[in-house]
Amino acid sequence: MNIKFIKKLRTDNGYSQAHVAKEINMSRASYISVEQGKRQLTLNEADALSKLYRITISDLVTNNKKKYKKYEQMLFAFLRSMGGDRKVPKTKLAKLLYLSDFAWFYNHHESMSGLEYRKIEHGPVPDYYFRLIEELDGDDKISIEHKDKALLISETRVGEKVADDLLNSEEKKLIKKIVKRWEDKNTKEIVGFAHSQIPYVFVDKGEIIPYELITQEDPAHVY
């Protein structure tokens, strides 16, 4: 387990050691031993901890800081590439990121971000996506506007300072191609498209979606 990362997750979320211990059903003393590196988490405890922070168990083993940063840069690349007033529904933004990761894997046998996607009711998404939106909003890097039942995401002046150095030129080109394909489509259309793809259809709810499944998709139906 990455002890420093586990401790950082707790402090970043403003949780006490006692609170986390209670959430994962262990004593405070035992949890303190985990943060001190004197005790390992059981599989059930690691699963409960990952659910508390909305990440995967593998994230607890290795700090995916670089992957998270690249995923953040991908998010801003989509916001900056969209036309109009650049206000993108939260759900649509999640699907655009999904398409970029799986389309990149289709051609390069590796995902763009390296993050794992999970099948949930509203679509394929990394557990980290929801935490990232909260963090960016808290850091004033994005603005969230409520409109009808949708949450519209847009970049702020603070967000404009986020770099894109982790994205190469080919990755940026793919993002622009995906934007061109979906820029004028509504959220319902892109959700329907993602839900009809092989990776989403052939995985049970709550499971991690294997990237390899996208290679079985029709080339015209990748993004």
Cβ partners under 8 Å of residue 138, min gap 6: none
pLDDT of residue 63: 61
Alpha-carbon span 47 to 194, nearest angstrom: 27
Q: Which CATH number fits domain 3-61: 1.10.260.40, 1.10.1200.10, 3.90.1150.10, 3.40.50.10330?
A: 1.10.260.40
Alpha-carbon span 54 to 60, nearest angstrom: 11
Could you state, in order of their start, the residue ranges of all structural domains in the chain?
Answer: 3-61, 65-221
pLDDT of residue 26: 95
Give 10-residue mean pLDDT values along the chain (223 residues): 86 94 95 91 90 82 80 97 86 98 97 93 90 92 92 95 96 97 95 97 93 96 96
pLDDT of residue 87: 93
pLDDT of residue 61: 74
The amino acid at 123: G
In sign, the C-alpha dihedral spanning 106, 110, 115, 119 is positive
pLDDT of residue 81: 94
pLDDT of residue 25: 94
Q: Tell me the C-alpha to C-alpha distance, in Å, between residue 53 and each of 20, 179, 214.
A: 10, 30, 28
Please give the sequence-ordered ranges of beta strands (E in DSSP) within 69-161, or none if there are none. 88-89, 118-120, 123-125, 142-147, 150-155
Alpha-carbon span 183 to 71, nearest angstrom: 20
